[in-house]
Structure 1
Amino acid sequence: MAASLNDIARIAGVSVKTVSGALHGGSARMAEATRERIVGIAAELGYVTNLAARSMRQGWMPLIGLVADDLITSPFATEIIRGLDSAARSADMAVFAMTLGGRRDVGAVLEEVRRFRPRAIAYAAMYHKTVTLPDAAKDVVGVMINCQETQGRVLSLVPDEEGAAHEITRYLIEADRRKLAFINLPGILAGELREKGFRRALVEAGLDEAAMPVLPAVRRAIYSDRAPSLVAHHVATMMQGPNPPDALLCGNDRVAMEVYAALHRLGRRIPDDVAVASFDNQVDIASRLDPPLTTMALPHRLMGRMAADILLSADPLPPEVRRLPFQMVERRSV
């Protein structure tokens, strides 16, 4: 038979309420020696917290529910879950996820998550975008991660796309690169904001913005890594033209990988002939390219940790959009 709170209380010579306080973070007035003795007895008996009973008392399970908007299919966006899980475990909580994709309705998935009576619920997306939640969901979702609610009704943690593009463009300019081009991700919010940061850095540096092209990485209106690529065509056209760029900024590391291949076919050296920089820091790509790629690492793990802190906070926080900085990972491509 599993040990119970009554068993521990009988051996320790204290009340069940005192045992519960020692094991579940209760009474702050308890003597530390008493707390340690109770914890020791519980360990000897192999006591395991009855989560169902605890849920009945508290009204919630020690869980954080996560609505994962295609998140689990992304190899680097899983850093969000790692950050969230690490911070949750530090608070003796666990994370469980339910995926949202295809024709699954947001409201229905949220109701499924609520059946488990989690302490709090987060909504996370695979890529930075805006999301329209049902009216009822704004009081259910505690934080949105890597996305923001269309009407701004939920606190959101998003990457500072514009700031990251501004920083990496300045870095290229400070490396004495004056003829830049940006092969960007069309039709998505990240690409739109990164273009703003790119252009702002050019203007601030006094460079001719009109002479610095921003080109789509794919033939479709909305970027997908499965869409027909235009990267090789753009690189060949620019590098064989009368005024080839001396730096290429890429919308993500997959685009950068294609740029490397196109430059190699043309006999151009990185970074001697042209510098290459990117976004995302997909380590399996960026660190294995030759030379390794300088790129801006998304703050996914930080977003996960911050989300846990927000969800477990005793005080509700007002809805706002918090933009978290990328981290530059300098390698040898600039």
Structure 2
Amino acid sequence: MADAKVSLQDIAGRLGVSVKTVSGALHGGSIRMSDETRQKIKALADELGYVPNLVARGMRQGFLPILGIVADGLITQPFATEIMRSFDNAARADGLSVVVTNIGGRTIEASVAELQRLMPRTIAYASMYHQVVAIPDSLRGVISLMINCRDEAGVIPSLVPAEHDAAETIVEHLFTHERQKIAFLNLPGLIAARMREDGFRAAHAARGIEINEAWILPATRGPLYADRARSLVREHVAALFSGPARPDAILCGNDRVAMEVYGALRRQGLEIPDDVAIASFDNQVEIAARLDPPLTTMELPHRAIGRRAGEILSGHRKPTQKIDEIPFRLVERASV
């Protein structure tokens, strides 16, 4: 049975090397040694059952092998949890653990203070959707990365979805399928929606195709898109197909809106994609892949964001710019 009390001194004495060399081989660091020495130390540590004293190590270094995340609802959203899965995988590959605290009505300061008691190596802030967050000035040297959101002051490096480019890509995809009369049922009040509308307009301008301004419509009533907000999809679809000028494609703000559009079009006796093509954003697979026909959509880059965040916070890469936009992926299915 392995002895959990084996020390660095024990290993060093057996191999005739310094304790500093053993610590460097097992815990990382800049000390130089041959690969042969490093492998011998690791092999003996495994044989003896050496278990590092993380608390003592943390007291010496000032931190434990922990990455802290202050999460604003992220862990409660099924598709946004892809960020945390990828982040955790990247951290584990480096021998780091992830500790998440959900804000849940508390202040950011209180959430950070809770994590700081665990002596994390660093702390990041993560959001369930792309938004601008006001980080208190007192935390600008504490929170090192914004994940799926932006720092209002533009000081803390941020990883966010490339919303504008995603809209350009999906509109160009519709154009290449000879759909040029596109309606857009967007998500009111969100930064993602504003950027996607800009991309929608840029794609039309690049082709010299005129936009029907009356066809850019909010999917729900109210200043901000929310699941509980009253849907306007059915009445918008009825109006869009009530006159002689009709769209040949509808771009939807997300897959849930697209699901509603499917139902509304069928009430009008219209077929997808023969009468009208449908495209969307998110790639919530439980929706997009199961619609009939399956939905063409832009997949949110949550896995890539989580992986990139893990690499940055583990020290393997640096942010390339203050706001790093991570590209979506076009998922082609049968709705276009």
TM-score by length of 2: 0.93
Residue 159 (structure 2) aligns with: 157
1:153–1:319 contact (8 Å) kept in structure 2:
no
> Displacement of 1:308 after TM fit?
2.4
Residue 52 (str. 1) matches residue 55 (str. 2): yes
> CA–CA distance in 2 between the matches of 1:176 and 1:319?
37
Aligned pair partner of 2:245 in 218, 243, 246 = 243
1:87–1:309 contact (8 Å) kept in structure 2:
yes
> CA–CA distance in 1 between the matches of 2:176 and 2:189?
29
Q: What's the RMSD between the two structures over aligned residues?
A: 1.9
> Displacement of 1:318 after TM fit?
8.4
Residue 24 (structure 2) aligns with: 21
> CA–CA distance in 1 between the matches of 2:320 and 2:205?
35
**Structure 1: segments with no counterpart, 5+ residues:** none
Q: How many residues are treated as equivalent by the alignment?
A: 333
Q: Which runs of 4+ in 1 moved over 6 A?
A: none
Residue 215 (structure 1) aligns with: 217
> Displacement of 1:319 after TM fit?
6.6
2:188–2:220 contact (8 Å) kept in structure 1:
yes
TM-score by length of 1: 0.94
Residue 35 (str. 1) matches residue 32 (str. 2): no
Within a 5 Å distance, the mapping from 1:103-252 to structure 2 comes to 104-211=106-213, 213-252=215-254
1:268–1:251 CA distance, 2 compared to 1 (3 A)? same
Residue 87 (structure 1) aligns with: 90
The C-alpha deviation readout for 1:117-174, integer Å capped at 9, x for no partner, is 1111111111111010110111111110111111111111111111111111111112
The C-alpha deviation readout for 1:231-290, integer Å capped at 9, x for no partner, is 111112212332221100000001111111112222211111110000011111111111
1:152–1:319 contact (8 Å) kept in structure 2:
no
> Displacement of 1:183 after TM fit?
0.5
> CA–CA distance in 2 between the matches of 1:90 and 1:16?
25
SS state of the match for residue 230, structure 2? coil
Aligned pair partner of 1:261 in 255, 260, 263 = 263
1:179–1:212 contact (8 Å) kept in structure 2:
no
SS state of the match for residue 37, structure 2? helix
Between 1:163-172 and 1:12-21, the stretch displaced more is 12-21
> CA–CA distance in 2 between the matches of 1:216 and 1:314?
42
> CA–CA distance in 2 between the matches of 1:68 and 1:86?
17
> CA–CA distance in 1 between the matches of 2:164 and 2:318?
28
> Displacement of 1:27 after TM fit?
5.6
> Displacement of 1:314 after TM fit?
7.8
- Matching residue's letter, 2:54: L
> CA–CA distance in 1 between the matches of 2:205 and 2:25?
61
Residue 324 (structure 1) aligns with: 326
